[in-house]
Chains A and B, each alone.
Chain A
C-alpha cells in the first residue's frame, strides 16, 4: 500500500494522460459490452413486459403459428372442464402515420381484438371518466362496445400523445380501406394499459377480424384454469381435446420464442462486443509493458533497497486492479448511456428483420450483467498486466541502474514467442482438419488469432526494418528517426500494432462477410425475387399483420398487363423446436418463373414432389442450423393435423435467418384451412408498362382496401436496406474497435515522445524546425498505422475465412463464397493513415512545445 502511494501514485499523476487513455480502452471495451447486452435485454424485456401485461390472468395460450385457427377451436377449449375461462384474441401491430398535428412521424400501435364479454374474466380494463375519475365498468359498457363495430378503447398514454379523448374519432387504414373508429373509453395508466409502452388499443374481436382481413379466425385463445388444476394438467387436457397442430404453452414461452428467433442477432453482437474488450486488453497490456520499461530505474532502485520480486509484481498488479476498477466503473456508466441510445435502433432492426414489434421504454438493467461486466473489465485489466508485472519482477537491479541503456526486446523472449506461434499455427491447422466438430473448430479459430498475436512483435520489428529505407528516402532525417524509434522500442510498438491488427482484421472479416453476403444476396434476389411487382399489405415486406383474401389474386390476374400472379403466404411455425418460416407458394409457377436451383437434390423431382404436396423444399440454412438432410421427414404441426413431409430438395433462400420451408399453397390451404395471402407476386405481360400497371392496381383496389404495390427495385432496395441496418450496427462496433486501436496509437506516441525527448531536443538544437519535428512524429504514427494495416489485412484474410464459416455454422447457415475484400482493404489504407495522423497531432504538438533545455538534459 505504501509503495502504491509513494511509487505508483506520483507516476500516475505524472503520466495522467496515458492513464486516462489506458482506462479509455477498458471504458470502451466494458461500455460496448454492457451497452449491447443491456440494449438487447431491454428490447427483450419490453417484449416480455407487453406479453405479461396483455396476458392478465392467462395461464395458457393456444396458438397455431402465425396463421391462427378457426373459431370452433374456442368452443372446444371452453368445453374442457379444467378451463375456467377462455378468451379469443387477435393481436397485431399497426404502423401509424401522424394522427394529429401534435404527433409527428411514424409510431406503432398494438391493437388487441377481444371479446369484451368473456375477456373481463382474464384481463382488467381500468377506465377513467373524462374528468379523470374512475369508471365502474358495468355490463352496459361492453354491450355498447359490442353493439358498435367502430368502438375503440385506448390508453391514457396514447390519448395524451395524440390529443385524443372520449368520443374522439380516429381514422385507421384497414383491409376494407380507411375505417373511422370512435374512442369509447380511455384506460388508466398501469396494468394492461402499460403494455407496448402504452401504445395500445382494444377493439372488438369481430371488428378486428374484418380490420385485418383474417376471415373467421382467431390468433389465439387465452385460457385461465380452474382452481387446483396445475399447468401441466391443463396443457395435457387441452392437447387431448385439440389434437396436434396447436401450441399450448404458458405466455412466457412467447418471450422465449422471440429470444430464439433473434438469437442470430444476439450471437453476432456478443462476438463483436467481446472482441472490443479483447482489443482493450491489448491497450492495457501495452501501457503496462511500457510502464515497466520506463520505470526500470525506479524498479532497480526499489530492488536495490530490498524490495522482493513479489512486492514489485504485486505493485504492478495492484495498479492494474485500480485501473481496472476505475475503468470498468466508468465503462458500466458509458455502457448504460450507449444502451439508452441504441435500444430504439436495435428494436427497429429486430422488428424489421423478424416482423415482431416491441416498444422499448426504459432500460432493463440486469445487476448480474453489471457486476459480471465490471468483473470482466477488472479481470481483463489484471490478465493484461500479468506479463508486464512478471517482467517488472524479473528486472535485474544492476542493469536497471545503468544510465542511458535502452531496453530492447530480448532475443530469447522473441524466440520463445515465435516458437509458441509456430505451435499455435500448427495446432490451428490441425484443428481445421477436424473442424466438423464445433468445439475443435472454435479452438482452432482462437489459436489462429493467438498465432497472430504472438507473431505481432517479431513481424512489426521486421516490418519496421523494411520501412526504414523507405521512410529515410522520403525524409532522410525525420523518416529515419521515426523508423529507428519503432525499432528501438518494440515493446512500445508491438502492443499497439497488435491492437490495430486485431481491429483491422475484424473490419476485414466483417466487412468481407458483409460484401460476400451482399453478393450472395444479390444473386439470390436476381433468381428468386424476379417478379415485376409485389402487392403487399404493408410498406414492409416482412410485416405479416394483415392478409389478403385469396380472391384478390383472380382480380389481379384480370388487370390488363398482368401475365401471371403468384400467391405467397408466410407464417412462422415451430419445426424441430425452432421458429422457422413456412412459405406456401404456387410451386409450379415458381418453377417456371424463377426456377431456384437446388443446392442438394434433383430439380425436377424437387419441384414435382413439392407441387404435389408430397414433399417440402428446405432452405440451406434450415438444414444447417436445425439438422436434416434430403429424405428426412419433417413434422409440421397444423390445425387440421400434423403434416409429415420429406425434404425433397435443399435450396438457397434468404427469407429467414432461422431457415425456411417451402411447401405448395394447396397443402397449406388444406392443412390450415386458410387461403389468405401475404403477398401477390406479379409478372407482367411482355411490353406492359410497369408504372401503368401499378397505377391501375392502386386505382382499382387501393380505395377499397389496404394495399401497397412495390416494384422489383423497391423490394430489392428494402432487402438491401435491411441488410445495411444489420451491418450498420456491426460497423458501429467496428468503429469502436478502431477507436480503441487509435487510442493505442495515441498512447504509444505519447510514450514515444517522452522516450525521445532528448533526441527531439537534439534535432531542434542542431537546426530542426518545428515542422520537421512534427514530421518525425507523424511518420512514426504512419509507420505504426502501416504495420498494423499490413498485419491486419493479412490476419483479416484468415479471420474472413472463420467469419464465413461461423456464419455458415451458427448464424445464417448459408454457404457464402470466400472473396477477399480488396476494395475494403484499399479504403482502409487512407482511413488508417488519416486516423494515425489524427492520433499523432496531439503528441507532435506536445513534442514541439516542450522546453529545449530540459529536453537536452533529460535522462
Chain B
C-alpha cells in the first residue's frame, strides 16, 4: 500500500464528499513572552469548487488560517479536515504528501527559486513526486501554456516581470492539478493592472479546472470578485457572505 493512501485510510471520515475543507473548533495560539491568540474556535466548511475570499485587517488571523489549511502550521486545538484527511492525525511526511497532492500555494512574494528557470520552477513539485522526466517536461509545458508563458520557459525569475513571476508561481501551484488552491495576497505585490490580470487568470483556472480556491486578500475588488467572502476579525469569523453575482474584473 502506498504512502499516499495511508493517511486517507487512517483519517478519512464519512463527511459529505461535497465538503473539501472542514474546520471544527480550530484555535491557534502563539506562545511567546505574551500569548497571542490568532484564531479562536473557528468552524468553517468550504465545498468543492468554491472560490472564497478571506478578508480582514492586518493581524486578524487570515494568513494564519491559510497556513493551517495548507498544513504549513499546526492548530493548537480543533480539527481540520482537507479532502478527507484529518491533518492533526498526520505525521510530518504525510502532511507533506497532502500538500503535494491536494494543495497548490500561490504566495504574495511568488517564492520562486531564483536559480531555476520558469520551466524548472514549475517542474519542481513534479520532480519531488518522482515523475518521469518526459512526463514532467510535457506537464510543465502544458502549464506554462495555460498561464500564457510559453515564450518565457527558459527565463530565470530575475528576468521576468512581477506578473510573469506570479504566473509561473500559479503554474507551479497547479502542477498536479490539486483540488485546492490557496493564494496569499496573490496580487499584493503587483500593480493594479497586473493584479487584475492575475485575478482573471485565477478565476479562469477555477472555472476550467473546478478547483476550490481560497484567496487571502486586503483588496476589496479581489474579494468582490469571489462568490463567497469570509471576514475575519480578532481570530473569529465576523461574517460569511455569499453573493449571487460577483464583480467581473
Contact = CB atoms under 8 A, between A and B. Distances in A.
Contacts of B105: 765-766
Interface in A243-297: none
Contacts of A309: none
Given A481-B113, A481-B115, A759-B113, A765 B128 contact: no
A762 B112 CA distance: 8
Central interface residue in B97, B112, B124, by most chain A CB within 10 Å: B124
B230 to A, nearest CB: 20
> How extensive is the interface on chain A, given as a class?
20 to 34
B116 A769 contact: no
A816 interface: no
Given A765-B72, A767-B96, 18 more contacts: A406-B114, A476-B133, A477-B128, A481-B113, A488-B115, A762-B112, A763-B124, A766-B99, A766-B128, A766-B175, A767-B97, A767-B100, A769-B93, A769-B96, A770-B92, A852-B67, A852-B72, A856-B72
A551 interface: no
A768 B101 CA distance: 11
B120 interface: yes
Interface residues of B, number: 30
A758 interface: yes
Interface string B90-107: 001100110111000101
17 contacts: A406-B114, A476-B133, A477-B127, A764-B96, A765-B72, A766-B100, A766-B105, A766-B173, A767-B96, A767-B97, A767-B99, A767-B101, A771-B93, A851-B73, A852-B72, A852-B73, A853-B67
A775 to B, nearest CB: 11
A765 B124 contact: no
A692 to B, nearest CB: 71
B113 A769 contact: no
Contacts of A480: 115-116, 120
A480 B116 CA distance: 9
Interface in A348-400: none
A484 B123 CA distance: 16
Interface in A673-709: none
A772 interface: yes
Contact of B73 (A406, A759, A767, A853): A853
A766 B114 contact: no
B125 interface: yes
Contacts of B179: none
Contacts of A768: 96, 128
Contacts of B120: 480
B72 A770 contact: no
A487 interface: yes
Interface in B58-98: 67, 70, 72-73, 92-93, 96-97
B15 to A, nearest CB: 24
A564 to B, nearest CB: 76
Contact of B124 (A477, A488, A770, A771): A477
A111 to B, nearest CB: 72
A766 B125 contact: yes
A764 B97 CA distance: 10
Contacts of B111: 758, 761-762, 765, 856
Contacts of A853: 67, 72-73
Contacts of A488: 114-115
A488 B73 CA distance: 30
B22 interface: no
B228 interface: no
Interface string A471-492: 0000011001100100110000
A488 B123 CA distance: 21
A47 B61 CA distance: 77
B129 interface: yes
A406 B116 CA distance: 15
B118 to A, nearest CB: 14
Nearest to B105: A765
Contacts of A476: 123, 127, 133
Nearest to A468: B115
A769 B112 CA distance: 18
Interface in B152-190: 172-173, 175
Contacts of A758: 111
Contacts of B129: 767
Contacts of A769: 93, 96-97, 128
B6 to A, nearest CB: 14
B105 to A, nearest CB: 5
A772 B72 contact: no
Contacts of B101: 767
A228 to B, nearest CB: 84
Contacts of A481: 113, 115
Nearest to B92: A770
Nearest to A487: B115
A680 to B, nearest CB: 74
Interface string A404-441: 00100000000000000000000000000000000000
Interface string B124-166: 1101110001000000000000000000000000000000000
Central interface residue in B67, B72, B100, B116, by most chain A CB within 10 Å: B72
A406 B156 CA distance: 15
Interface in B199-219: none
